[in-house]
Structure 1
């Protein structure tokens, strides 16, 4: 069941990060003030909604019996971690600590960002599969 849950959560992540993320969210989700936080929270909420929807569809089609509270906790974890990572400073801080300034200057932050998101999704899938 872990593989199926992880796949559906990853699909939800890709959908929320690419076809369902608006230009405004992408441009402002790391910004300060109301505009930045609104873009960040609305983008994170898209992740929560899509991942919850895919878990519900997976449960219905594959006969899973996911308990409601752990499933809700998992998708809230995904939303919270996604919003945190997308503030951009955590990725920049990691890359400074890891001495990856050269890689950061050549597009590496996007890869570190996506890896952090996949780690959070994997932890959620492990939590639900146990």
Structure 2
């Protein structure tokens, strides 16, 4: 069940991060003002909604998908919170500066570290859901 859960959550993540993320959210989700926090929260809520919809689809379509509603709600909260935290951008910058990746960060590497952090959070959510 872990693999199915991860694929569903990853699909929700991709939908929320690319076709459903507005230009405004992408440009302002890390801003340190009310507009930035609102863009970040709206973007994170989109992740929760799309991942939630993906899980519902899995429960309806897949025979082996049995989820606890409280655990699913905690997992979705985890996804929203970690996504919002990572997308403030400073955590990725902090990581890359302290691990000797400043040059790579300056040449587009931050997007890769960002996505890796998001995927790690999804793996943790899928593991918790599959127990």
What's the TM-score once normalised by structure 1's chain length?
A: 0.99
SS in 2 for 1:106: helix
Give 2:91's aligned residue.
90
Q: Distance in 1 between matches of 2:18 and 2:57?
A: 21
Q: How does 1:1-130 map to 2 (within 5 A)?
A: 1-63=1-63, 64-130=65-131
- Residue 19 of structure 1: CA displacement? 0.1
Provide the rounded CA distance (Å) in 2 between the counterparts of 1:53 and 1:107.
31
After the TM superposition, which segments of 4 or more aligned residues of structure 1 sit over 3 Å from their partners?
Answer: none
Gaps of 5+ in 2: none
1:33 Cα shift?
A: 1.1
Distance 1:72 1:100 in 2: 35
What TM-score, normalized to structure 2?
0.98
Cα distance per residue 1:18-60 (max 9 Å; x no partner): 0000000000000011100000000000000000011011011
Matched position secondary structure for 1:107: helix
Cα shift at 1:65:
1.8
Unaligned runs of 5+ in 1: none
